[in-house]
Chain A
Amino acid sequence: MASLHWASVADLARLIATKEVSPIEVVRGHLDRIAALDGGLRSFITVCADAALDAARAAEADLAAGRPLGPLHGVPIALKDLFDTAGVRTTGGSKILADRVPAEDATVVRRLRAAGAIVLGKLNMHEFAYGPEGRNAHYGDARNPWDAAEPRIAGGSSSGSGVAVAAGLAPAALGSDTGGSIRIPASLCGITGLKPTYGRVSRAGVLPLAWSMDHAGPMTRSALDAALLLRAMAGYDPGDPTTSVLPVPDYAAALTGSVKGLRIGLLRSLFLDASAPDVREAVERAAKALEELGAHVDEVKLEHVAHVAAASMAIVASEALAYHAEWVRTRPGDYQPDVLERLRAGAFVSGVHYVRGQQVRVLVRAEVDEALAKRDVLLAPATPIAAPRIGENETALGDAMADVRSSLIRLTRPFNFSGHPACALPCGFTAGGLPIGMQVVGRPFDEATVLRVADAYQRATEWHTKHPPLAGR
């Protein structure tokens, strides 16, 4: 069967369950593609070829024996290299943990395997998840597959996840998001990435960056696929005390295709207005498209977003340094320089600063809640720019030059701060052929409506179906 590597999770699960395609064929096809393309893309740190094929053979035996199948039976996935994977090195993209082999799977990995998913390997990332560019000095920079002429960043920190899914090396991946690390690579690589509500998905067995801002979530090529993965991943976990006991709905069943009557708040001030003209125009066209599908769109402003940068820095810098303190003292030379600088900055944040950050969090959360009391979702660009070149510290944003790092994180971080669910999805391309991403933000634990809006938009448009030139056919 042609182009299995572009098949969706939903289609692969169906084709495997109905025995139209063998899980061995699916896994082998993806492994062959990884072998052919990943030398240039650098999306994987570890490829688990033997284990994946063993799991595929076991999946095929289950099918032959008529045993009960999970919803993701035989579907390959790949994991950002901070999700503990039993018996497989889990490096955090670092030299410091290069030889760390956990004995147990992270909770979400265990749940996805129980649903039948097969792990292809561990994906590249910004070292210790502490960067929005997706750079990695130890394993090489993952390369954005959308520009064949110039090396561009994939975005981070889940850079390998963005590249692998965009390039057809895996139909789905896991990422983590502390300030935008699922949505930034989703936006820059032209895929769909969901940061769920804080507490919807367990962080047990996930290497932390900042405990109170970290979220785990799926990265896929469609909202439907994200819904399928989220259903398998989500739910209370005694191993993570911040997880919610709220029941996990059937997210895929909520994708009715209709947004008729839905109320959407377009974030212009501090979001659209802070974006490059082509990004702004693409998101405005997306809002118009949703109106034509029957949604009602108005504009809303979040005033306190202006304080998120400082307040979240106090929280992330403190929590990250608390985790890394011993290594920063004893092995500073083993960090890549930008990560070491960010970690060291945490030493100058006082306890009072940290509490101020957590107070501002209450204001921002209340403001987003108020905006969503009168609306079902909010809409904004995911990133204000498309993918810059690797090594660029400044990039054009309208008529001015802007710092790449702070630009990439500016529009995503508010929703890590507030904890609301947010899904990034493609909504266009720049004149140069680079993806443009928007994000749909919803009420706490209302991933169903967020995904419904994303899915309805994807049924009416084709952005998410395009493939990058570097990935070949």
Chain B
Amino acid sequence: MLARMSQTDADTLRRAARLAGFDFAAADLEALRPAIERALEALARLERLPLSSVEPVTQYRVI
């Protein structure tokens, strides 16, 4: 089970973005924060689905 991203303050978001290779200004992060919080909450709900035996559609096929 993924740990919830309980902190979505600007500093946490800035660090998360930097890990992904992006350097967003504080004002931009603040503007993004409500949408990010909603998205992360929705994504967290997916953890409740029975997915442990479901192979994702990301298969690589040589032929």
Q: Is A401 located at the chain interface by the 8 A CB criterion?
A: no
C-alpha gap A250/B40 in the complex (Å): 45
Contacts of A268 in B (CB 8 A): none
Given contacts A355-B56, A359-B54, A360-B46, contact A329 B39 (CB under 8 A): no
Does A296 sit within 8 A of B, measured CB to CB?
Answer: no
Supposing A348-B16, A348-B17, A363-B49 touch, asked if A356 and B43 sit within 8 A by C-beta, the answer is yes
Interface residues of B in 8-63 (CB under 8 A from A): 13, 16-17, 20-24, 28, 31-32, 35-36, 39-40, 42-43, 45-47, 49, 51, 54-58
Check A362 against B57 for contact (C-beta < 8 Å): yes
Classify chain B's interface size: 20 to 34
Please tell me if the beta carbons of A359 and B43 are within 8 angstroms of each other in the complex: no
The reply to whether A347 and B39 form a contact with Cβ atoms under 8 Å apart is no
Q: A311 on the interface (CB 8 Å rule)?
A: yes
Complex: how many Å from CA A363 to CA B50? 9
> What residues on A are CB-neighbors of B51 within 8 Å?
356, 359-360, 363
> Given the complex of chains A and B, what is the CA–CA distance between A236 and B24 in angstroms?
42
A307 touches B24 (CB 8 A): no
Given contacts A325-B21, A358-B58, contact A353 B36 (CB under 8 A): no
Contact with B along A340-364 (1 / 0, CB 8 A): 0100110111101101111111110
| Nearest CB of A to B8, in Å | 9
1/0 per residue, CB under 8 A from B, across A201-242: the answer is 000000000001000000000000000000000000000000
Q: How far is the CB of B53 from chain A (nearest CB, A)?
A: 10
A92 CB, min distance to chain B CBs, angstroms: 21
Q: Is there an interface contact between B40 and A356, defined as CB atoms closer than 8 Å?
A: no
A311 close to B36 (CB less than 8 A)? no
- Closest A residue to B52 using CB positions: A359
**A345, B39: Cβ atoms closer than 8 Å:** yes
B36 CB contacts on chain A under 8 angstroms: 345, 348
Q: Is the CB of A362 within 8 A of B54?
A: yes
Q: Is the CB–CB distance between A313 and B42 below 8 Å?
A: yes
How far does the alpha carbon of A73 sit from the alpha carbon of B28 in the complex, in Å?
Answer: 51
How many residue pairs bridge A and B at CB < 8 Å?
82
Candidates A328, A349, A362; contact of B56 at CB < 8 Å: A362
Interface size, chain A (Cβ < 8 Å): 30
Chain B residues closer than 8 Å to A311, beta-carbon distance: 46
A360 engages B22 (CB within 8 Å): no
Chain A residue at minimum C-beta to C-beta distance from B32: A344
| Nearest CB in chain A to that of B51: its residue | A359
A167 in the interface (beta carbon within 8 A): no
Residues of A within 8 A of B20 (CB): 347-348
Nearest CB of chain A from residue B40's CB, rounded to whole Å: 7
A309 pairs with B56, CB closer than 8 A:
no
Give B50's nearest chain A residue, CB to CB. A363
A344 near B46 with CB under 8 A, answer no
Nearest Cβ in chain A — how far from B44, in angstroms?
A: 9
Whether B47 and A356, one on each chain, are in contact in the complex, defined by CB atoms closer than 8 angstroms, is yes
Contacts of B55 in A (CB 8 A): 359, 362
**Closest-CB distance, A359 to chain B (whole angstroms):** 4
Point out the residues of chain B lying under 8 angstroms from A289, CB to CB: none
Cα-based distance from A353 to B56 in the complex (angstroms): 12
A344–B17 Cα gap in the complex (Å)?
9
Residue on B with the closest CB to A342?
A: B35
Which chain A positions have C-beta within 8 A of B49? Answer: 307, 359-360, 363
Closest Cβ neighbor of A343 among chain B residues: B22
Contacts of A365 in B (CB 8 A): 57
- Complex: how many Å from CA A341 to CA B29? 10
Residue of A309, A348, A356, A357 most packed against chain B (CB within 10 A) = A348
Give A445 to B40 CA distance when docked, in angstroms. Answer: 34
A310 at the interface (CB under 8 A from B): yes
User: Given the complex, which residues of A lie within 8 Å of B24, measured CB to CB?
Assistant: 344, 347
Q: Contacts A359-B56, A362-B56 known; A348 to B39 CB distance under 8 Å?
A: yes
Interface string of A249-271 (1 = CB under 8 A from B): 00000000000000000000000
Distance A361 CA – B49 CA, assembled complex (angstroms): 12
> Inside 8 A of A352's CB, which chain B residues have their CB?
2
Cα(A363)–Cα(B35), bound, Å: 26
Among residues of B, the one whose C-beta sits closest to the C-beta of A365 is B57
Q: Which of B21, B43, B58 has the most CB of A within 10 A?
A: B43
Listed A/B pairs (19) with beta-carbon separation below 8 Å:
A212-B57, A307-B45, A307-B46, A341-B31, A344-B24, A344-B32, A347-B16, A347-B17, A349-B39, A349-B43, A353-B43, A355-B58, A357-B46, A358-B58, A359-B49, A359-B51, A360-B49, A362-B56, A363-B51
Closest 9 CB pairs of A and B: A358-B56, A310-B42, A347-B20, A359-B51, A359-B54, A359-B56, A347-B17, A347-B22, A356-B46
Beyond contacts A212-B57, A348-B40, A352-B2: 14 other A-B pairs, Cβ-Cβ < 8 A, are A307-B46, A307-B49, A310-B42, A313-B43, A325-B22, A329-B23, A347-B20, A347-B22, A356-B51, A358-B56, A359-B54, A360-B49, A362-B56, A365-B57
